[in-house]
Amino acid sequence: MVVKQIYNSFLTCSDFNKKVITFVKIQKKVIMSNLAKDLIDRVKLKNPNEPEFLQAVEEVVENIVPIFEKSEKYLKHNIVERLTEPERTIIFKIPWVDDKNKTQVNRGFRVQFNSAIGPYKGGLRFHPSVNLSILKFLAFEQIFKNALTGLPIGGGKGGSDFDPKGKSEGEIMRFCQSFMNELHKYIGPNTDVPAGDIGVGSKEIGFLFGQYKRLKNEFTGAITGKSFDWGGSNLRPEATGYGNVYFAQHMLKTQDDSFKDKVVVISGSGNVAQYSCQKAIELGAKVVTLSDSSGYIHDKDGITNEKLDYVFYLKNEKKGRIKEYANKYNCDYFEGKPWDISCDIALPCATQNELNEEDAKKLLANGCFCVSEGANMPCTPKAIILFQNEKILYAPGKASNAGGVATSALEMSQNSLRMSWSSKEVNEKLKNIMLQIHDSCVKYGSDNKYVDYVKGANVAAFYKIADSMIDQGVV
């Protein structure tokens, strides 16, 4: 009897209860971890030698697996395996003739990944690094990014290993026409709507659309990023960069802070970097770096609007190197990446995996407390873990750079309506979309006064995509 009383009192002990609760939580974590590993292993088995794609999948799966504990329907409908398998992958030959009358051959791709919430939507990338792994990662990320916008667009991506650098206008035109000779069979305003990406600017979009129009004998919104004169949207070139800064602005507001008087480092010097720089300057920040594949400039006095105008000319018209900025304005130039420069805010706007663990350590040591991705997956997983462990403001690209595709979708709407909206109207819509994305991330990513924006973005998008897939049956 005494033993029983002692045992019962032991059971009621708060310490014991805490230990039991902790044990149960640990067991649940182990189960969820094993489930995540099993799901990832199955994806790895189907997709060997595709590191970029697998990296993107792992990040998402780790965030969404805890959902399965609350609702078994996602396991029952095998959503993860269905979601990680593209609905269609198209690979094709692109023969074209250069200026020396020599026949060249490149490889073209279009990954139509998921159309559960709308027609496939995503850019075309022309770059020597393009391969199936990179395009699958970009298309997979695009599914989630597009879902976060709240607009009815699915996820896709495409491109070619063609390098437009150093090519004449005639060579670029002939390549684009040959590329579209095949691609036009698979796209359309209600099927798949490509846009620009690295290596595909206004010139390339013009050639691509012109050939599409010629082949289909119709003028429809089958491609976005068009010139305003023939169906494009106001603010489209600016949208990704502006949206990135708007998102960072919302993160800063959660801590009663702003861009005013903050030191900002930016990587890249292309479209996204340029307009991120422009908007940050407008909001009162001091931007001190831009970069390209050779190195970066460090302008201690800050990049002004006048200096930025030169960057626009240098990169968009002259096609020069960022080092020329240093020569013109007598500032420092270094080889490598700008992450060892002291700053408050970092905006990686160049390319995937450009900011690694060592770079993250440098940023944190130098006082950086906010990182917002303008590029797609520019931070490596280890870098992200460091940012999150230090509880700094960190935004993944699928959330912070969604402004570009959001404005592309607005262009689709304008094309369907046969009308155009003013820059002010588009900007207000963009601001509202970025606010909506931020609020969704906060809703699903908040934990003990810290917002895990990666988790928030992945979970918010997953619910929308997965539920839509279930609603539409096994297709």
Fold of 88-220: Rossmann fold (3.40.50)
Per-residue pLDDT, 20: 46
Whole-angstrom distance, CA of residue 155 vs CA of residue 142: 5
Domain spans of the chain? 2-83, 88-220, 238-404+435-458
Per-residue pLDDT, 7: 46
Buried b (16+ CB within 10 A) or exposed e, 433-467: bbeebbebbbebbeeeeebbbbbbbbbbbbbbbbe
How far is C-alpha 251 from the geometric centre of its chain's CA atoms? 17
Buried b (16+ CB within 10 A) or exposed e, 69-98: eeeeebeeeebbebbbebbebbebebebee
Per-residue pLDDT, 29: 54
Whole-angstrom distance, CA of residue 394 vs CA of residue 377: 12
- H or E element: which one contains 111? strand 103-114
Per-residue pLDDT, 15: 61
Adjacent-strand bridge partners of 107: 93
Q: Has 157 been annotated as catalytic? A: yes
**Low pLDDT (below 50) residues in the chain:** 1-7, 9-10, 16, 18-28
Whole-angstrom distance, CA of residue 217 vs CA of residue 219: 7
For residue 326, the tally of other CB atoms under 10 A from its CB is 18
Q: 121, 145, 157, 226: which is the annotated catalytic residue?
A: 157
Does 3.40.50.720 match the CATH number of domain 238-404+435-458? Answer: yes
**Does residue 458 contact residue 60 with C-beta atoms inside 8 Å?**
yes
Mean pLDDT score of the chain, rounded to an integer?
A: 93
- 380 in helix, strand or coil? coil
Q: State how far the alpha carbon of 42 is from the alpha carbons of 58, 187, 352, 389, 462, in Å.
A: 11, 30, 24, 29, 19
